[in-house]
Amino acid sequence: MLVTFVRFGKWLESRARGKAGQALRKLLALQADRACLLVDGGEQEVPASRVQVGDLVLIRPGDRIPVDGIVVEGASAVDEAMVTGEPLPVAKAAGDPVTGATVNGSGRLVVRATRIGEETLLSQIVRMVAAAQGDKAPIQRLADRVASWFVPTVVVLALLTFTTWYWLADKPFLFAFKLAIAVLVIACPCALGLATPTAIMVGSAVGLSRGILFKRASVLEQVSRLQVVLFDKTGTLTSGLFAVTDILPVHGVSAGELLGTAVAAEQVSSHPLAKAIVAHARTLDVVASAVDDVEEIGGHGVRCTLDGMVVLAGSLRMLGDHGIETSALTAELDRLAGEGKATVLVAANGRLLGAIALADTPKAGAVEAIRRLKRIGLRTVMVSGDRRPAALAVARTLGIDAVEAEVLPADKQVIVRNYQQQGCCVGMVGDGINDAPALARADIGIAIGSGTDVAKETGDIILVRSDVVDVARAIEIGELTLDRIRQNLFWAFIYNIIGIPVAAGLLYPIFGVILKPEFAGLAMAFSSVSVVSNSLLLKWSTRRVA
């Protein structure tokens, strides 16, 4: 019975642990085995491992894409749920990137391979998940220290149990021997050993299913201790793309006339503000008139001729240099500057027509991310190289607590260090090369998935979907995982603290009850199963992390 119960418990334990590791096996199963190469105008079926960088791969409707690459021909919708967690397919056409292991829709695609084998995104994700699930969290050190003393302590307690009952209590040898064996059997270092890794495996799998990659187990624990989160502005909180917010014609000029003149001048410019004005006009079906004698005045604007009129579109300084009177809009320009908006002034034949205001647009979900972080109790700080009024305006829109403005890229890590010197546990969220030093310096670096490879290599957490709300989700998952680890350790300790004295015969003098070795073995087995099962319940508790 003893052997049967122990083996039964081990079987239950292995099954439960197997469920905890399902995420990694599912990832490995996503890899495509075959690929269709286009060679000399013909098609050739080969193992996916034979594809080389630069090869052209045919992706038929319904096929799983075998490599990372760029579409060179065709159009389709690709199911990228494996990468992003989003259920809606993403439209792909020539020039768009595709990711290996995603599934092609109804169209035919020809893809040029850019990353193969171990270099593909899926392989990188597999390595990160395996590393995270095999890593030890700092809290595991406590369990390891206890476990190192556990076995010799239990052996000593078993000998004391036998000695006490056989020599001091004058009980039969078999009675004392059974109790000593029960002490050895019921003691469960396995529960202590399983408490942390099983929770880490489930927590990292839950994060992966939501497009959040934790690089190490320690990150899942440390992220729950964050006090301050620093955000890079452009590309992280904002899209980096300007949008028209205000059209301000002077008295006697219509908004349509102002926009039409502005788009005629700006259609020839490659400046981001000019592109934003042209895009806005296109949404309103405003047709740009042809212009002549175009001259771009570096960093200030455009001068051109429209229907015989000399048109200027650019900065306040440029119009001032050309003697254009702008006092009619002074109050409005001051207001827009206070809101952190950029302005393009337009004049024709020496007369001011008006101004167009533009602003960097916040990313979808940025406001929600900041709100959730505040609800958790974290302080949020935006780090930006913009002028302070512009940075403050964005911060007010998003609800951010503090702003570090006019910061040079090299100084971002100094900002991180300053907060750390105040005793804060600091997280840094960024996406660019210039964010990499700060990501490395922070206690937890969080890299946006659409950012540079340098940022993603440096970050401790990667947000695959590039959704800034995932910053809050990652912290919430970390907190839930750490809570589950603490629960596991608590019950593992309590089980041994209560179980060993009962097995030693503590209840016998009062109730005449002893614990047989075979039932002690069953209790030991179920203690491990209960710890693993408690970890698996983390999947249900994280459902509220929407």
Catalytic residues: 232
- Partner residues linked to 333 by β-bridges: none
Kind of pairing between the strands at 342-348 and 426-430 = unpaired
Nearest to 132 by CA among 393, 356, 462, 428: 462
Residues 367 and 360: beta-carbon distance below 8 Å: no
Residues 220 and 137: beta-carbon distance below 8 Å: yes
Tokens of 232: 């890079």
DSSP 8-state assignment for residue 287: P
> Maximum distance among all alpha carbons in the chain?
119
The 3-class SS string of 322-374 reads CCCCCHHHHHHHHHHHHCCCEEEEEEECCEEEEEEEEEEEECCCHHHHHHHHH
Strands lying side by side in the sheet with 238-249: 238-249, 351-362, 342-348, 309-314, 301-306, 292-297
Q: Using DSSP, how many helices (H) and how many strands (E) does the chain show?
A: 21, 22
DSSP 57-89: EEE-TTPBP-SEEEEEEE-EEEE-HHHH---S-
Instruction: Return the H-helix or E-strand segment holding 379.
Output: strand 379-383
| Three-state DSSP class for residue 249 | strand
**Distance from C-alpha of 478 to C-alpha of 133, rounded to nearest angstrom:** 14
DSSP 153-190: HHHHHHHHHHHIIIIIS---HHHHHHHHHHHHHH--HH
